[in-house]
Structure 1
């Protein structure tokens, strides 16, 4: 199993040690460690240098105050200097939830995302996206503009029209442990091809149901795979193998 989206830098040092120690016991081979901003990217790079199972992605999470121009320049210069060390650009996208909380100028976020997508096209790197509901249409427009097809929409939610568009364009989604209790995610699993799917935790984000009160751990994706298998009416082994191979192929992992 591969956790296709985890904020590994946001765990405490003690928690990281637990996750890294227990990964092998539960057959979790790699973590795609996404970043929130420049400082986060630097931490993930350092962590990856100490453990090759951590595969870092660098970017700027959109659900926060917009970067100033000089901060954008710093981030992009740093990313360009670490092309070979990053597995993807991410996490990047649009601030759907922040937009619900307060008024904010949206165009600067779209402009910054376009720069990330242009960079992904230039570098030939996969891109990891935070884009839900109506924001997904805007993101698809930009991906199509730059002909970027290696797009991973994490914890995706959206209408059937954008789902069909994403499937047709070959974009991937990743499923979180809330598939065990969220009808919306279960319906998405029904609609989306298994061949364009991965699994993630988005840790340390907490989950409900059987995971309530527990530290978010990559081993939780096993339960997600079991639920996906039930929904797809396939064996656990077939689904597990397909999801693992999907993630290897998408992130160009030669293991």
Structure 2
């Protein structure tokens, strides 16, 4: 049984073969995929794909890279479509100080605004944070008790992960955990409690070993899960039992 809590199925990498990608995922035991958006176009596509494929759910939000493109029309779009039964989160949202594709002050403003939407619509959030963990944490802390969600494709230290866990967030791990040069993530995988861990691919990016260098797809979430299970010295099946429970806990609109 496979669950991928973060895959960009609307990406152009899947044009012409999305049916095959999803069918292969299902044949591998795939149960559900969450498709977060990063701008208005991808949000519209995520909605369309969720309507077309039973196993796919959508999250609506604007990525920090595109934060300067956010406007009232887009916020209204999120609010208006968030009641759809297959929209399960606001995301992906957050901060990215590595690329700084949008000014940092705007990133923070847009992040907070989308957190407010999550509060209003009673939805969890999917958080992107790169080289911005302190500011990310401070914003999430300001919403403590009002919103919970997932630290997507977590890349920080175990010390920082503990602080996110204390806020009630889940830690989601992806392909980089399997890389030979991964230093911090094995410690995160080892120490994150089983009732707070999730797995994802971030497809079509961050392809895990043994397919690193190729286009990622949701079926490869198995390799991330197997790595976590190996680190924790439990079976793959035991890990996925917890991942399934955790997924339904945080994304409450997904039908069991």
* TM-score normalized with structure 1 length: 0.90
Deviations 1:65-118 (A, max 9, x none): 622xxx41111111111121211000111122213xx8x631111011000111
Tell me if structure 2 keeps the 8 A contact 1:62–1:92.
yes
Deviations 1:197-228 (A, max 9, x none): 11100001143641134331212111211111
Deviates more, 1:152-161 or 1:227-236: 152-161
Cα pair distance change 1:161/1:24, threshold 3 Å: closer
State the 1:190 CA deviation: 1.5
State the 1:59 CA deviation: 0.7
What pairs with 1:1-255 in structure 2 (closer than 5 Å)?
1-10=2-11, 11-64=13-66, 66-67=68-69, 71-85=70-84, 86-99=87-100, 105-133=103-131, 135-147=132-144, 148-181=146-179, 182-207=182-207, 209-252=209-252, 253-255=254-256
Deviates more, 1:75-84 or 1:177-186: 177-186
SS across alignment from 1:215: coil
SS across alignment from 1:87: strand
Find the aligned partners of 1:165 and 1:246 in 2 and give their Cα distance: 19
Equivalent pairs counted in the alignment come to 248
Find the aligned partners of 1:180 and 1:153 in 2 and give their Cα distance: 18
State the 1:175 CA deviation: 0.9
Tell me if structure 1 keeps the 8 A contact 2:169–2:196.
yes
Deviations 1:11-67 (A, max 9, x none): 333231111211211111111001010111011111111112110001111124622
Output the aligned Cα RMSD: 1.8
* TM-score normalized with structure 2 length: 0.90
Is the helix fraction higher in 1 or 2? 1
Structure 2: where are the runs of 5+ without partners? none
Find the aligned partners of 1:132 and 1:232 in 2 and give their Cα distance: 26
State the 1:143 CA deviation: 2.1
SS across alignment from 1:84: coil
Tell me if structure 1 keeps the 8 A contact 2:68–2:103.
no
SS across alignment from 1:41: helix
Find the aligned partners of 1:8 and 1:239 in 2 and give their Cα distance: 25
